Every structure is written in C-alpha cells, then in structure tokens.
Amino acid sequence: MKFLKKYGFLFLLVALLREINLPFFMGFFSETSKHVWLLSELGQPGMPLRNAFKIWEIIDGILFILAAPYLANRFKQYSRKMAITFGWLIALYGIGDCLMTALFDYSTNYFTDPAAFLHAFGSFIGSGALLLINFSLLLLAKKNQQPKIMLSIILLMLCSVIAGSLVELKIFAWPLINGILQCVMLDTLYLPLLVIAAKDTFLWISGFFAKNNSH
C-alpha cells in the first residue's frame, strides 16, 4: 500500500494515456469501424478487435484501482473526507467504466438483456464518478482561490456535458461524429487528472535526477 501511495501517479498517468489513445489503437475512426457509434461497440461479438478491446479495458480498470491510494493520499492535506472520496471515485471509475465495460457486452436492450443493463449501469456509475472528481477539484480550486483553474475545470465540464448530451440525443446521423463527441466527453474529464498525474511524474523524475546528480 505504501508503494501505491507513493508511486500511484504512474498507474494513473498510464491509465489515462491508454484511455485517451484507445480509439486510435482500436481503429475506432478507421474505415472498418465506420458504422460503430460508441467505443463500447468495439467489444461486441463479431468485432475484429473484440478481445483486444476487452483486455485493454481490464488492464485500465486495474490501473485506475491501483491509483486510488495515491489519489487519496495526495489530497489528505486538504481534507480526510475529500481524500477518501477521491480514492473511492477513481476506483469506482475503474470498476464501472472499464471492468464492467469489458465483462458485459454493450447492447441497446437494457431492460431485456441483463448483461447490457450491467454494462450501461457500469458506464453510468463510472462517468458519474469521473464527473464528481472534476467537481471536487473545482471546489478545491475555489477553496484555494485559484480562479484560472476554476475556470478551466468549469469549461472542461461544460464541454463534456454538452458532448455527452449530443451523443445521448443522437442528433447527428453520422457514427463518426458521435464517436468523436464521445471521445471529447471523456477526454475533457480526463484532462484535470492527467495534469495532476503528469505534474507529479515530472516532479518525481526531476527529484530522481537531482538526487543522483548530487552524489
């Protein structure tokens, strides 16, 4: 646990980078997937990279769970309750939006297919957890009187909510546009955590080299 608290930022950084790059590695925007509306459809039976997608999501889910102790430890200086909340929320995202996405196939028959219901429920819980993380970061920025950070998070959250709403309403008839909107919805919520993980990684690397150069 001490290791995860100290170096969990590496797991978080890798998980976030993997999630952001997943559509490109899975050919989400390629000609072979031109009829695919959502990322989850890549894991459906008959899709060429079905197993690769599921394994990818399982790995990411585990990485997010392993990052939970780090995130909780990082914010304990502000509030113990907030720290615990951050830890649980990132673990919940890993379970809901990654592991459950991999274990249960996507389908629009939510109320007749138990697997589809669990998939949708996991995605809902995971997305909600990610949104709450950003909202908590917004409150923290407000408490610390950081207006620029506050504005950035507000704009990212608005962008995510608008993109997500457009996906759910299916206003656009082209799968490619809906796929891009889903990626925008997720990536804008990933960005604040990505900045945190990247910053801590940079500080760790800088400290490592500074320590070695001093000897």
CA-CA distance, 128 to 16, in Å (whole number)?
17
The reported pTM is: 0.91
What tokens were used for 211?
């320590």
pLDDT attached to residue 60: 95
Residue type, 11: F
Instruction: Tell me the average pLDDT across 194-215.
Output: 82
CA-CA distance, 163 to 178, in Å (whole number)?
9
Determine contact, residues 133/193, Cβ cutoff 8 Å. yes
Q: What is the pLDDT of residues 89-109, one digit of tens each?
A: 999 999 999 999 899 888 777
Average per-residue pLDDT for the chain: 88
Confidence of residue 33 (pLDDT cuts 50, 70, 90): low
Q: Which residue has the higher pLDDT, 97 or 116?
A: 97
